[in-house]
Structure 1
Amino acid sequence: MTDPEANSEDSADGESVVRRERFSGGPARAFLSSLSADERIFAADLAVDRAHVVMLTEQEIIGEDTAGEILAALDDVETDGHDALPDGEDVHEAIETAVINRVGPDGGRMHTARSRNDEVATCIRYRLRGGVLDLLETVVGARKQLLDVAAEHAETVMPGYTHLQPAQPTTVGHWLCSYESALARDTARLFDAYERINQSPLGGAAFAGTPFDVDRERTAELLGFDGLVENAMDGASARDFLVETTAATTALATTLSGLAEDMVTFANRGHVKVADEYSSTSSIMPQKKNPDTLELVRGRTGDTTAGLNGLLTTLKGLPRAYNRDLQRAGSHAYEAIDSVTASTEVAVGAVVTADWPAEKLEAAASEGFATATGVADRLAQSGIPFRTAHEIVARAGEHEDPGIDEIAAAVEAELGEPLDAVADRAAIEAALDPVESVRMRDSRGGPAPSAVGEHLDRARDSVSEDQTTLDERRASLAAAATRLDSEVSQYV
């Protein structure tokens, strides 16, 4: 079969042979080019080229000798690296030019039955899935670390806040488990995104398919994709997988921002000591120790959120099939993944290396009458309607640092009966202690050490399952890479 690219004329190194002379110069060339940014998908493009050439050969669309020359040229291109590529509008054109420069006109047969549209869409998915798996590896590892520290501090009582006001006592372990739970949902969202990333658009050509007898399932298999983007037009134009990935990554960044903010606030109150490795000092104030890394975790969330908005704005209102606007889409997802991977490592590193002063935390846990809810619960457990118990404890709370005597007086004022007549005085007094207040909250998901222990068992099982899924995804991609190498070796 004849490939139009086979008629391309040879050129000197460094000049594109893919574009006609009319489209090869002028002041807009640099504006059009994405070659520098495409270094990120250089390896992906080589893999896609190899799989496509193997498939073309198996389908007898190109000859084995030609395939061998092209595949050998691709090996040379890989060895020389991205920086050695000739000029071009993008990495795809530059690699094709480099192949033709080595093989001659027959090198142009590599592009038979495909377009840059399906090629770039495949490369983006190929590269992005690896970044998502790397991020997942970091997040799953972070969750393991948080659970380990939570187990160490399951009985370390600390103040809990709502509206930044003292609310109820909790524990460091319970607080850490709350963030591990959020990271577990972030993990699930990234896995969901991965499933839709890992579908192959290759073989759809520009958007309307091809008259060549291609085997799209074969290239998908060689590249480790789980299936196909069925519709050729959808395959060329769809970038919703970028939106989903960037949105999931932004959600993760938001989780980390909350974690960072809590740590900054705790450090301000003396509730935690951030390790020196995650702090800095002032250039003028020698006494300062600032949790700067955590502040940057907060700040980077703004970058990721802006990236999501930028991506959505780029995609909004685009007509179907390929538009050059899409050249600007992928960077938002890549940059979000890079940034949030680093933020995850830093935020969790700051937490797991921090010092939690148990005595100071326990003392702070009773400030602001934070055990009031526990007292009201104990009164309600004695048979008093909770709303009445709420009013009694609120009346007692009008006193500074209320104790059992103020509660007894409030009971008598509200009910007309002494405390001993309506409740167990010792139980009510015990509820004023933050340690007891935590211990009594043993409902599922509560801060009692027993409840936290049960939660840790379930959470560790979930982490283990996610690690297994992650390992399976990586093993599947590794097996595909091995298959592709094996097939290529038959021709080179």
Structure 2
Amino acid sequence: MEGEDTVIRRDRFADGPARSFMSSLAADERIFAADLAVDRAHVVMLTEQGIIGDDEAADVLAALDDVEAAGHSTLPDGEDVHEAIESAVVDRVGPNGGKMHTARSRNDEVAACIRYRFRADLLSAVEATLALREALLEAATAEAETVMPGFTHRQYAQPTTAGHFLASYAGALERDTARLLDAYDRTNGSPLGGAAFAGTPFDIDRERTADLLGFDGVVENSTDASSARDFLAESCAALATLATTLSGLSTDLIEHAADGYLVLSDDYSSTSSIMPQKKNPDTLELVRAVAGDATGSLTALLTTLKGLPRAYNRDLQRATPHAWDAVDSVTEATEVAAGAVATAEWDAEACEADAGAGFSTATGVADALAMTGVPFRTAHELVAAAAAETESPADTSAANAAASGGSRAALAANLDAAAEEVLGEPLATYVSREELDAVLDPVGSVAARDSRGAPAPDALAESLARLAESHDGHAAALAERDAALESAADDLETAVSEYV
């Protein structure tokens, strides 16, 4: 699809009935700037290699400046932005404008444009995850001692802290960021020089165009270079995983708001159209829904790619928009989630009031017994029997008393009875009443769990320090990649200025 053959093919099929169906020109506005950069780098390389003359390069590069200034909306009709830009250049400088397409195909050209633009979108997604991680770490630090109930199966489980809960999502997002950076690195390879799929006889310098465009290197095999879209699949998988993390975070924040543990900012809420007293977490519900969009984009992309013959197939034109949709929706959702986390206010009293509900500290008694040598499974059964014999208040407000007062005293009495029955000795033989009171108290229960990664304040502080260090490392990695792209853009501008 090079040189004169391209022009002949266009003339022959210019008025076919399916031209509008085949055209991607409108959607290609997204890669308009990318195509101009790719064209410039390619022309510079051709000139440096002596494939086209300096004057011809100057005319073409000046025409590309004119095309850029005029904008995508002024391009002539064409199958795609690549054809339209070339036609616009030919219109300005005559047939020699077609020399910009020497030694390449639209196959390697479009692959380069997609990678060029998509890598920038991936860095925007990385930046969004860093902002959300920062919001989570700041909130986790502020709420490190805010004791609250933990849940499994949405049932009261063990006491934890709001800080520990928030840090759990910071940990998940740490991996999401790493996946996106890995995807970026595999996206940032240059396919230019692969031509249609079988390379070119011209003495091109693939490394030169890669450097001018800020790619880390070349995609070696010419067929692989032109046809590969696995970088889109990998990136969409990383984005869908990130969206799943956001979905879980949204659900937890929505549930905790409904339980009264935190108040979402009005900026991230709305009211009912009929019930003025309501405050709905609509924004987070929309963030949660993006997981469906991202998963759908990934599925659509993989389904399109499945079973395609090697080299270029027009199916790929339908594949790329799924990646654009995924990166746009997930990046925006991540930014919104960061704002919701940063502006939410935690109600420490409400959190602590429910922290011992449902005998949630009972596990601490089993642990205390096990630490004296009682087999944990025996201790577990002993505590389960005592809890079953202790009346559990029926409603939530009364359940709060399970951590103190009469309910705690009743549980202690039943623990004594169970110890006599199971162990043949009073509970005090193993655990003193002072120790028992400490582990039955939600604050004491949290403080006792101080292993690495646990919610005890000191353990959490160490985890947060590690998470902050990782955040800074990823921020530095983002800055390094941004700087490399900016440097390459400067180099390309300098190289073009040698001719224009």
Q: What TM-score comes out, normalization by structure 1 length?
A: 0.96
Distance 1:452 1:142, change over 3 A: same
Alpha-carbon deviation of 1:428?
1.1
Q: What is the rounded CA distance, in whole Å, between the counterparts of 1:107 and 1:195 in structure 2?
A: 34
**Matching residue within 285, 288, 300 for 1:298:** 288
Secondary structure of residue in 2 paired with 1:168:
strand
Q: What is the rounded CA distance, in whole Å, between the counterparts of 1:18 and 1:163 in structure 2?
A: 66
Alpha-carbon deviation of 1:18?
7.2
2:464 aligned residue: 456
1:360 aligned residue: 350
Is residue 2:324 matched to residue 1:334?
yes
Q: What is the rounded CA distance, in whole Å, between the counterparts of 2:260 and 2:62 in structure 1?
A: 63
Alpha-carbon deviation of 1:380?
1.4
2:21 aligned residue: 31
Distance 1:252 1:4, change over 3 A: closer
Q: What is the rounded CA distance, in whole Å, between the counterparts of 1:373 and 1:4 in structure 2?
A: 76
* Matched ranges for 1:168-207 at <5 A: 168-207=158-197
Q: What is the rounded CA distance, in whole Å, between the counterparts of 1:344 and 1:59 in structure 2?
A: 45
1:278 aligned residue: 268
Is residue 2:450 matched to residue 1:442?
yes
Q: Deviations over 1:176-213 (max 9, x none)?
A: 11000000000111111111100001011000111110
Q: Is the 8 A contact 1:113 1:205 kept in 2?
A: yes
Q: What is the rounded CA distance, in whole Å, between the counterparts of 2:438 and 2:203 in structure 1?
A: 80
Q: What is the rounded CA distance, in whole Å, between the counterparts of 1:474 and 1:310 in structure 2?
A: 30
Q: What is the rounded CA distance, in whole Å, between the counterparts of 1:408 and 1:287 in structure 2?
A: 48
Q: What is the rounded CA distance, in whole Å, between the counterparts of 2:436 and 2:17 in structure 1?
A: 81
Q: Is the 8 A contact 1:18 1:96 kept in 2?
A: no
Q: What is the rounded CA distance, in whole Å, between the counterparts of 1:485 and 1:245 in structure 2?
A: 29
**Matching residue within 107, 120, 138 for 2:128:** 138
Alpha-carbon deviation of 1:425?
1.8
1:12 aligned residue: none
2:242 aligned residue: 252
Secondary structure of residue in 2 paired with 1:114:
coil
Q: Deviations over 1:405-435 (max 9, x none)?
A: 2222222222221122222221012111100
Alpha-carbon deviation of 1:140?
1.2
Secondary structure of residue in 1 paired with 2:263:
coil
**Matching residue within 380, 399, 414 for 2:422:** 414
2:381 aligned residue: 391
Q: Is the 8 A contact 1:18 1:93 kept in 2?
A: no
Letter in structure 2 aligned against 1:422: Y
Secondary structure of residue in 2 paired with 1:99:
helix
1:480 aligned residue: 488
Q: What is the rounded CA distance, in whole Å, between the counterparts of 1:344 and 1:239 in structure 2?
A: 25
**Matching residue within 202, 224, 242 for 1:212:** 202
2:394 aligned residue: none
1:233 aligned residue: 223
**Matching residue within 64, 84, 87 for 2:74:** 84
Moved more, 156-165 or 414-423: 414-423
Q: Deviations over 1:364-405 (max 9, x none)?
A: 111011111111111212232211111111011111245222
Q: Deviations over 1:119-169 (max 9, x none)?
A: 000000000000001110111121112111111010001110111111100
Secondary structure of residue in 2 paired with 1:166:
strand
2:94 aligned residue: 104
Q: Is the 8 A contact 2:131 2:335 kept in 1?
A: no
Alpha-carbon deviation of 1:19?
4.6
2:334 aligned residue: 344
| Runs of at least 5 residues in structure 1 that lack an aligned partner in the other structure | 9-16
Q: Is the 8 A contact 1:56 1:214 kept in 2?
A: yes
Q: What is the rounded CA distance, in whole Å, between the counterparts of 1:389 and 1:18 in structure 2?
A: 84
Q: What is the rounded CA distance, in whole Å, between the counterparts of 1:451 and 1:191 in structure 2?
A: 29
1:13 aligned residue: none
1:14 aligned residue: none
Q: What is the rounded CA distance, in whole Å, between the counterparts of 2:420 and 2:253 in structure 1?
A: 42
Q: What TM-score comes out, normalization by structure 2 length?
A: 0.94
2:106 aligned residue: 116
Aligned length: 481
Q: Deviations over 1:17-37 (max 9, x none)?
A: 675332111331110000010
Letter in structure 2 aligned against 1:344: T
| Runs of at least 5 residues in structure 2 that lack an aligned partner in the other structure | 392-401
Moved more, 401-410 or 243-252: 401-410
Moved more, 426-435 or 396-405: 396-405
**Matching residue within 295, 320, 327 for 2:310:** 320
Is residue 2:66 matched to residue 1:66?
no
Q: Is the 8 A contact 1:200 1:220 kept in 2?
A: yes
Q: Is the 8 A contact 1:18 1:97 kept in 2?
A: no
Q: What is the rounded CA distance, in whole Å, between the counterparts of 1:157 and 1:247 in structure 2?
A: 35
Moved more, 260-269 or 98-107: 260-269
Q: Is the 8 A contact 2:355 2:442 kept in 1?
A: yes
Q: What is the rounded CA distance, in whole Å, between the counterparts of 2:12 and 2:199 in structure 1?
A: 27
Q: What is the rounded CA distance, in whole Å, between the counterparts of 1:149 and 1:420 in structure 2?
A: 40
Q: What is the rounded CA distance, in whole Å, between the counterparts of 1:409 and 1:461 in structure 2?
A: 50
Alpha-carbon deviation of 1:4?
3.6
Q: Deviations over 1:253-308 (max 9, x none)?
A: 00000000101111121121111111111111111111011111111110110000
Q: Is the 8 A contact 1:203 1:209 kept in 2?
A: yes
Distance 1:165 1:104, change over 3 A: same
1:52 aligned residue: 42
Secondary structure of residue in 1 paired with 2:345:
coil
2:437 aligned residue: 429
Q: What is the rounded CA distance, in whole Å, between the counterparts of 2:54 and 2:114 in structure 1?
A: 28
Q: What is the rounded CA distance, in whole Å, between the counterparts of 1:26 and 1:112 in structure 2?
A: 26
Letter in structure 2 aligned against 1:210: T
Q: What is the rounded CA distance, in whole Å, between the counterparts of 2:145 and 2:195 in structure 1?
A: 61
Letter in structure 1 aligned against 2:450: D
Secondary structure of residue in 2 paired with 1:160:
strand
